[in-house]
Structure formats: C-alpha cells, structure tokens
Chains A and B, each alone.
Chain A
Amino acid sequence: METDAVQQEVSAPCVELSASQTALACAAAALVPGLGHAVMKKWDRAVVFFVSIILMFFIGVGLQGRVFGPDFTDLFSSLKFIADAGAGLLYWMARLRGLGVGEPTAYTYDFGNVFIYVAGLLNMLVVVDAFDIARGRKS
C-alpha cells in the first residue's frame, strides 16, 4: 500500500506549461525563494525552499557577513555580487534597509559571507528547477 503511494508520487505526470506561465514561474522564483514553485502548486518544495534560503540568508547577516553591492572593478567582486544578488528581493531589501554591512574583524565574518553567497546560489538552482518543472522535464 505504502509502495503504491510512493510509486504514484514518483510517477506523477510531467505537465508542460505555456511560455508565459514558465516566464512567470521563473520570475517569481528569482524574486522570492520558493514562490515559483508555489505558483505551480508544488507546495512542499515551495515551503522548503522559502524557509531554507531565507534562514540561510539571515543567519549569514546575523553572523556579521557582508551583503556585497554591485561592484564590477574585478572578477571576485563581480562574482560576490552575483552570488549575493541571486537571493532576489531578499538581497535588495537587505541593501535598502542597511542590513549586511559586515564586520571584517568579526570572528564569524567569513562564515556569514559564505551563508549569504550560498543562499543566493541555491536560489539560482531553485529558479532552474522551477524552469524544468514548468517545461515538463520533471514532475
């Protein structure tokens, strides 16, 4: 009985959405972690992505990590900005509210930065996942 339920869940049909619905899901996912999946009614994924990525971002800020601004003077600065900005509206809200100033002398500064980078990078993966689901490549 349990095996049947798991089998049904695993073999849920892949449904391809229209181009506009796909664009909407990807844009929503890029702006707010998990929102793209919520638009497609993938509630379990939406909740996990929303909670995990937001938690990760704010733990990073709490560990006195820095939210890097748009700085394209060298490769590493650009990559830091791109990784951080992957978090979408979270990133811009933090920037506008003056959060994530960062304290380089703090013991946890580097850990905080890594949490913030990875929150952004995970959200980029989540956008790709939303795209795959919307195009019917996975259920």
Chain B
Amino acid sequence: MAGRKAKAEELQRGAAVAAILKRRGDALVVTGIGNAVHDVAASGDVAENFYLSGIMGGAAMVGMGLALARPDRRVLVITGDGEMLAGIGSLATIGVEKVPNLAIVVIDNRAYAATGMQATHTARGVDLAGIAKASGFNHAVAVSDAAGLRAVVDDAYEKPGPYFAVLRVKSEGSPRVRVPADGTFTARRFRRALLGDEMNP
C-alpha cells in the first residue's frame, strides 16, 4: 500500500453524482461537509436533501439514524473521502448493525478540495471500500470508469444494504452552487417533507 500512486481517473464528480441522483425516486439524501454539498445541490435542491455542512465525519451516522427511523425509505449518504475518513469508525457500527436501507457513496478525489487540495490518506492507498467490506457491509465497491458508475447507479438503490461505493474521480473540486446556508431552515424543511404536520415536537 505504501507509496502507491493513484491512477488517472475518468469520472467527473458532478456528472457522476448527477447520474446517481437522477434515479433517486423517494430516497433521502444526506451529504457530508465540503464539495459533496455542491455536487448534490447542483442536481436539484430538494427538501429531501439534508446538507450536513457542519461537521467532519458525521454524515454516515446521521444517515444511519435516518435509515433506522425510516426503514421504508432508501437513505443515500453522499460524501467525500476526507469526510469519510474523519468518521471511519462509523463504518464498523453500520456494518455490524446491517442497516438494510442505507447506501454510502464516497466521492474520492484524494484531496480536501474545500480547503486547498491537501492530500487525504486515500491518495496514499487507503482503501475505503476494503474497510467497508471488512466492517461487514453487504456490498462494497470502488469504481473509476463509466461502466462501474452505471453499476453504482443501480446498485446504490437496489442492493440490500449496507451498501458502499467509492467513486474515484478526477482530483478537483466542484463548481459552487447556491445551497441553503441556514441549518435550521434545512433541517425543518427536511422534517416537514418527511413528517408533514406531524413534525412537532
């Protein structure tokens, strides 16, 4: 593993996320902090998106809480490699709990794109899909081309979870799009979409 260099990748992050979200149906989406927020919002800012812009490493567990509370809905966590690495221990919890309706998609550009493109550990060969597999995820893949992405587009919604996919994308950030910046608004909009008039307390 040590010293392994990342290969040149073909996937473009925004297009890859758009392809996945195009068939989201009624899936609930949680983003990790950073460029994943913009990738998801660029595909449509809808109430069923929860942009977790506040904390590194928290997205997977927020997704797990949602998935346990709403087993009738697919929950998709879309996050970056840096954010996933910050919450890497959560993969063990999700894996052993076998949450069937939870899918995690990691956009792996091997860098902290939001803060200046500092290299993450995936740039040095850390295998996130391997960690997920060893943690008990039912499916864990890493893809870097169009054929692999096509499989993820289907499997993220159809494979019994927990499902984990790494999208190896070009090492770049994302174009900024307008995203609701107010956390309270985002949370209440999301709850209202899920719970309607039953949202209180």
Please indicate whether A and B come from the same complex rather than being unrelated chains. no
